[in-house]
């Protein structure tokens, strides 16, 4: 059973954003599975780097969508994205520079929180734009 997986509660009714969220969740799951399988630190660093790069792309695309739809919460959402990036980058750099060979529970729980809190609780607020 997957630790990170897509379900209908994550549907924001915007196909591109749903596709990108599914990709993000898949990348989180791949990182988790590699970690659990005992992948090398270098493999985990590479997987985490791919995740970070995709997050940057996704946030840019999501903010552009919100701007084009005149979403009133864009600036607040942009700040949330910036905070998530700061936290994600810190966790990745702590792993890269640390002595642990596995991703920490804190890192995994951050990703899980992101999934449940940000996508399910915050991104779904722009769902109403898709129905206009």
pLDDT tens per residue, range 62-83: 999 999 989 888 999 999 999 9
Question: What pLDDT, on a 0 to 100 scale, did the predictor assign at position 50?
Answer: 97
pLDDT tens per residue, range 28-43: 999 999 999 999 999 9
Which alpha helices (H) appear in 37-131, and where do they start and end? 41-68, 74-97, 105-113, 127-130
What is the CATH superfamily name and number for domain 13-130? Hemerythrin-like (1.20.120.50)
CA–CA separation, 34 vs 47, rounded Å?
9
Burial of 69 by CB count in 10 Å (0-12 exposed, 13-18 middle, 19+ buried)? Answer: middle
What mean pLDDT is predicted for residues 82-87?
A: 95
CA–CA separation, 54 vs 42, rounded Å?
18
pTM for the whole structure: 0.91
CA–CA separation, 2 vs 29, rounded Å?
7
Residue 54 reports pLDDT greater than 80: yes
Domain segments of the chain: what residues?
13-130
CA–CA separation, 13 vs 119, rounded Å?
12
pLDDT tens per residue, range 89-98: 999 999 999 9
């Amino acid at each position: 059973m997957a630790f990170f997986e897509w379900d209908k509660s994550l549907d924001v009714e915007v196909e591109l954003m749903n596709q990108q969220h599914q990709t993000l969740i898949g990348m989180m799951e791949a990182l988790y599975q590699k970690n659990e399988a005992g992948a090398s630190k270098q493999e985990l660093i590479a997987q985490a780097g791919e995740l970070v790069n995709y997050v940057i792309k996704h946030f840019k695309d999501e903010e552009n969508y919100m701007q084009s739809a005149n979403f009133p919460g864009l600036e607040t959402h942009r700040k949330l994205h910036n905070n998530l990036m700061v936290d994600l980058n810190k966790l990745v750099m702590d792993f890269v520079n640390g002595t642990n060979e596995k991703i920490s529970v804190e890192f995994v729980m951050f990703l899980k929180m992101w999934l449940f809190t940000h996508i399910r609780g915050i991104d779904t607020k722009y769902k109403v734009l898709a129905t206009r």
